[in-house]
Amino acid sequence: MDPQLDKLKFDSAGLIPAIVQDHQTGQVLSLYYMNRAAIEKTIETGKVHTFSRSRNRLALKGETSGHFEFVKSILADCDRDALVIKVEQIGGACHEGYYSCFFRQYERGAPDFKTIAEKTFDPDAVYKK
């Protein structure tokens, strides 16, 4: 077992938030939740695994799309209750077809957030085979 992981603080549901970031540009791609098993599997395989709260199971990011996230480094914060995972992102991180999930920008006075990115893939083609 890995003593570094013993020092992490998981919440009452056994989860810790993990910010996934492009290792070259610094762009934030997604915010996930991981349990200890997901972190261990991520370290073991070098590919990001999450704990899917909706499916209540471990999930390999990219298992359907092939859009894997290859781990370059893992950081913990001062309180050890949050992670940053720097990755090489294949395809795009977002199930809506964008490279990053954070494609909506707040604009003062607007009725809604504005989409500021172009899709990098067609989600219908990728997810509905």
Number of residues forming the site for its own copies (CB under 8 A): 40
Nearest approach, Cβ of residue 66 and its own copies (Å): 19
Q: Does 76 bind its own copies (CB under 8 A)?
A: yes
| Strand extents, DSSP E, 35-113 | 49-52, 57-60, 69-76, 83-89, 104-105
Checking phi first, is residue 101 left (phi over 0); if not, alpha (psi -120 to 50) or beta? alpha
- Chain Cα centroid distance, residue 43: 14
* Residues in region 56-75 near its own copies by CB under 8 A: 73-75
Residue 91 binds to its own copies (criterion: CB under 8 A): no
- Residue corresponding to tokens 């395809």: 91
Smallest separation (angstroms) from its own copies to the CB of 125: 18
Contact 58, 47 (CB under 8 A): no
Q: Is 103 in the site for its own copies (CB under 8 A)?
A: yes
Chain residues that interact with its own copies, rule: CB under 8 A? 3-4, 7, 17, 19, 21, 25-28, 30-31, 43, 73-80, 82, 84, 94-96, 98, 101-108, 110-113, 116
